[in-house]
Amino acid sequence: MSFIPTSLDQIVMVRLGEITLKGLNRGRFIDCLMRSMRWRLRDLGSLVIEQKFSRIYVRPKDPEASFPIREVIDRLSCIFGIVSTSPVVVSSIDQDTFFEVFDTYTSGILGLGEEKTFKIEVKRANKEFPISTYDLCCMLGDRLLERYPEELAVDVHQPDLTFFVEIRDRIYLYYEMIEGSKGLPVGMSGKGVLLLSGGIDSPVAGYMMASRGMQLVPIYFHTFPYTSPQALEKVKTLAGQLARYAGSMTLHVVNFTDVQLELNRLVPPDMLTIVMRRVMMRVADRLAPEVKAKSIITGESLGQVASQTLEALATTDRVTTHPVFRPLIGLDKNDTITLARKIGTYETSVLPYEDCCTVFVSKHPKTHPSLVDADRAESELDIESIVEQSLHNIDKIDILPPFFMIE
């Protein structure tokens, strides 16, 4: 990071994408986003978060107070609805003051003796500013070239460095643009029950739905002692990593051991996984109204394993009343892994703790079960009581994003 003179106080500029295109609902989207920003930054001192036109600005209430700008940006970058952020310095609209600020700011970034190309980009939203966009670009460019005749050259097509100048009620100056998570603010698209295992796929599926504004209610089926306490810890960690993006959530842990043993006893081995999935879907389906969710989310991808063939998916869809979202359905595993790495869940997902799918797995599962096969496989079971039993054996665990847990 370059050295910015401390006399130039920096604040954070936040750009919004899709939200700004919304019509009458726009206010609701922005309120939701602002709430989420306030909550994420609540422990970072007393901050002012204000919206002006299509931008949101974050600054410390007391300009003298310390402002952990990189931490603020890191956290904001995880909020859906934010397209990008920049640390910016603010100058009054007065020309001479601005030029002074410009010189100080740029000298903190340049002047390191290395050759660079640059470009100045001016956005003159405030038409009362007396210098035209083009003239200002030239003036600022000349000021830089005068100071660094050896090191700098102009390149308007592929510059190493772009200085952005936005002239509004005040003048904002910056050179970095940090990509945000885009999408829609979480909470604007209802809730979904997320079937969360310890694997790679389900956290990514949750992330994708959250990026479209859906709030998540993760549910995990715990089969102690077949699955270890570490496996549950792993799921909690994954939920925490997901919460960086999707906000705090309540993890529902179903104590599934007795049900699993009963399935193991009464279901033909080649149909065990399918029936287990159907039971899990039914439990999620019944949990949904209790937690005010209107959908179910899974990490299934077509044809990935025996229980994810078209026929297998059809048998699980049949037992639900809510829409089932499978955002990874057409995604290649490698692309899912890339996403998992990007959102930081991959390293946790590959930790080697058992989940029930690996202990209770048949060597030769049926890959193309018909609905009749599925119903027949369940003929010995009292499905209603199994689902009831599962719903009565749920522990709820509050999950916060990891940055609040550190303390």
Partner 1 sequence: MTLIYNFDTTATSPILPQVLDQYVRSLKDENLNPSSSHQGGLDAASAVTRARRKIARALDASEQAIIFTSGGTESTNHALKGAAFASARLPKRLIITAGEHDATRQCAVFLKDKLEYDVDIVPLTTEGTVDHKAFCNALKKAPAGLISFIAVSNETGAINNVDKLVRLSRQYAPGAFIHADIVQLAGKLSFSFQRSGLDFASLSGHKFGAPKGTGALLVRRGANLVPLIDGGGQQEGRRSGTENPPGAVALSEALTLQSEVIEKHLDKVSSLRALFFDLLNKKEVPHRVLSPTDGSPYVLSIAFPGIRGETLMHALSSDRIFISTGSACGSHHQGKNDVLEAMGYSKDLILSSCRISFSPFQSEDDVSYLVDRIAENYKRYALTM
Q: Where along the sequence are the contacts to partner 1 (CB under 8 A)?
A: 224-226, 228-230, 261, 264, 269, 351-354, 359-360, 362
Is the Cβ of residue 117 or residue 255 nearer to partner 1 in the bound state? 255
Q: Which is nearer to partner 1, 51 or 362 (CB)?
A: 362
Compute and round to an integer the Cα radius of gyration of the chain. 27
Q: Give the span between the Cα atoms of 44 and 54, in whole angstroms.
A: 24
Tokens of 136: 């200002």
- The rounded distance, in Å, linking the Cα atoms of 17 and 300 is 29
Core vs surface per residue 76-98: b (16+ CB within 10 A) or e? bbbbbbbbbbbbbbbbeeeeeeb
Beta carbon of residue 225, minimum distance to partner 1 (angstroms, whole number): 3
Q: How far is the CB of 360 from partner 1 (least distance, A)?
A: 8
Exposure class string for 321-351: b at 16+ Cβ within 10 A, else e:
ebebbbbbbebeeeebbebbeebbbbebbee
- Closest approach, Cβ 90 to partner 1, in A, equals 51
CB of 250 to partner 1, least distance (A): 24
Per the structure block, which two tokens stand in for 184? 């829609």
Q: Which is nearer to partner 1, 130 or 225 (CB)?
A: 225
Shortest Å distance, C-beta 335 to partner 1: 24
Q: In terms of CB distance, is 162 or 362 closer to partner 1?
A: 362
For every residue of 373-393, DSSP letters joined together read HHHHHTTTS-HHHHHHHHHHS
Strand, helix or coil for residue 215: strand
> Is 149 or 352 the residue whose CB approaches partner 1 more closely?
352
Nearer to partner 1, 27 or 352 (CB): 352
Instruction: Please provide the distance, in angstroms rounded to a whole number, between the alpha carbons at the two ends of the chain.
Output: 26
To partner 1, the closest distance from the beta carbon of 228 in angstroms equals: 5
